[in-house]
Structure 1
Amino acid sequence: MITASTGLSVAALPSIDLDELIARGSLLTRTDRKYALSTADAAMALELVDPTSTRVLEIDGVQNLGYTSVYLDSAGLDTFLLAARERRRRFKVRTRRYESNGAAFLEVKTRLREQTVKHRLPGEHLIDGRLGEAGAGFVAETLRDARVRNVAVGALTPSLRVDYRRVTLFHEPTASRVTIDTGLTWWDVRTGGWLSRPELAIIETKSAGRPAGMDRLLWSLGHRPDRISKYATALAAMHPHLPANKWRRVLRQHFR
């Protein structure tokens, strides 16, 4: 299959359905490695993926799936600043909608040492731009359990929306996942500004700790992990006055 919007080919890979992927590779606690590269370089990497060990997620015959994420933050962008200043107890709160089946989730991501921990609550939980009672309680409890303190959950409101397409791979020998995001467009919910990077691909490997097969493949092609966040890096690109040293290289290469 060749995706019309990105040119990424996964025709040689066998498919895996969503239920099996969740059962075998949910990895809600994991080590993430991210790579920012051109869609042409991403396509080259995909052509070299081993079809005997890797499967591609397919839902209703579609492998290049549409996603919308909305990130929540305080009026002072506290979540952004925690990431920009690399605070140990940083977090993200977002909603996510899947175009394929309309499913929606509220998600909270926290850090545990070098690992990312993701918690999710099914359903729509934004009501008139604020978290409803169930959503606010879920976020507060998750942050409390992660020892993230002094967060005014009721003050979190939509900050940035991102629309994109995603191809998801499952590497069977390591039970690791790889996501390739393309067609990225961001919308600043508060100002109405927007940013599109159709030539950018963000590859993320999600493993129990050891490098995944895709990590080693990308390293062999000369790519190394990048510091990039679909929320914070894009917000820094849209608002140059914000602190952005952490993402300087990616901003220079892909957002100028």
Structure 2
Amino acid sequence: MNNKLNEIIRHLDSIGLDELKAYKLLNRIDTKYLCHSENIGQVLEKAHKDFKIQEIGSSRNSSYETLYFDTPELKTYFDHHQGKRIRYKVRFRKYIDTGDVFLEVKKKRNYIRTNKKRSEFAFATCLDDEHYRFMKDCVKLPESKFNEAIWTVFDRITLAGRNHLERVTIDTNLRFRNGSNEVFLPDLSIIEVKREKSISRSPFSAILYDEGIKPRGFSKYIMGNILLDPTIKHNRFKRRIVTVNKICYGTKCYK
């Protein structure tokens, strides 16, 4: 993170973790945006009147580690590739700054509505019977077992609306890895605007619109699979790959 962006972040009003719990929004509508990391400073300067920034201890930029699970036939990946209206992902997420770890099942319906359920566990690379009991309470599971798939590591800025129920995350320094490869995307920022389905207007989305940043679907799990293994079937996501490469490298080709 450059010095200018650090200075902008430092001058935002803060919100503590306990206060932010009111913004969980587990039944919500998510809208994602992609942009070059150089754009983030200007966006945050415009957001300071309507948003506060999460602060944990003295940190306003938190680190996350996520391990995704999938079946041997990659059911969750191909459910997304096939455009199924109901799909889900299974992952362990570790909040590095606090040490908290959750097993999460993130379910999406009708392309826009997201419901996330999670339970606190010790971090694990293999799922046991207790994990599966939790997962079965969330979604209908296939017969195949879930195995370790890919890892992601990233930094996150979290904003919360001052007077409205909206939360925004800005992810940077995204890394993907599996057993054999690693990919680093330092110039890509992923912005996600999260609001309860009852909230019709998003002040942060209005800022992004003014900056010429348009909504674009993006899944870390999907993109990580493709970048780590370009031979995987990915016809449905070719436009997204072009977008990512143009942002990161100024080219339409793989780098």
Give the alignment's TM-score, normalised by structure 2.
0.89
Is 2:199 aligned against 1:203? no
Distance 1:212 1:254, change over 3 A: same
Q: Distance in 2 between matches of 1:5 and 1:249?
A: 33
Question: Which residues of structure 1 form unaligned runs of 5+?
Answer: 145-149
CA contact (8 A) 1:38 1:199 kept: yes
Q: Distance in 2 between matches of 1:7 and 1:14?
A: 15
Question: Which residues of structure 2 form unaligned runs of 5+?
Answer: 246-253
Structure 1 residue aligned with 2:180: 192
Where does 1:1-256 land on structure 2 (aligned, <5 Å)? 3=1, 7=5, 9-22=8-21, 24-49=22-47, 51-113=48-110, 114-124=112-122, 126=124, 129-144=125-140, 150-152=141-143, 155-188=145-178, 191-209=179-197, 210-255=200-245, 256=254
Q: Distance in 1 between matches of 2:217 and 2:93?
A: 22
Q: Paired residues, what number?
A: 242
Q: Distance in 1 between matches of 2:92 and 2:4?
A: 24
Report SS of the residue matched to 1:135. helix
Q: In the TM superposition, what is the alpha-carbon distance from 1:4 to its structure 2 partner?
A: 5.2
Identity of aligned residues (%): 27
CA RMSD of superposed structures (Å): 1.8
Q: In the TM superposition, what is the alpha-carbon distance from 1:134 to its structure 2 partner?
A: 1.6
Query: What residue identity is the alignment partner of 1:142?
Result: C
Report SS of the residue matched to 1:138. helix
Q: Distance in 1 between matches of 2:97 and 2:91?
A: 19
Q: In the TM superposition, what is the alpha-carbon distance from 1:32 to its structure 2 partner?
A: 0.5
Q: In the TM superposition, what is the alpha-carbon distance from 1:19 to its structure 2 partner?
A: 1.1
Q: Distance in 2 between matches of 1:123 and 1:165?
A: 22
Q: Deviation string for 1:124-146 (max 9, x for gaps)? A: 252xx3212221100111104xx
CA contact (8 A) 2:87 2:109 kept: no
Q: In the TM superposition, what is the alpha-carbon distance from 1:5 to its structure 2 partner?
A: 8.8
Q: Distance in 2 between matches of 1:215 and 1:110?
A: 23
Distance 1:45 1:77, change over 3 A: same
CA contact (8 A) 2:28 2:115 kept: yes
Give the alignment's TM-score, normalised by structure 1.
0.88
CA contact (8 A) 1:13 1:56 kept: yes
Q: Distance in 2 between matches of 1:245 and 1:42?
A: 30
Query: What residue identity is the alignment partner of 1:124?
Result: A
Query: What residue identity is the alignment partner of 1:75?
Result: P
Query: What residue identity is the alignment partner of 1:252?
Result: V
Distance 1:6 1:137, change over 3 A: farther
Q: Deviation string for 1:36-59 (max 9, x for gaps)? A: 11100122211211x232110000
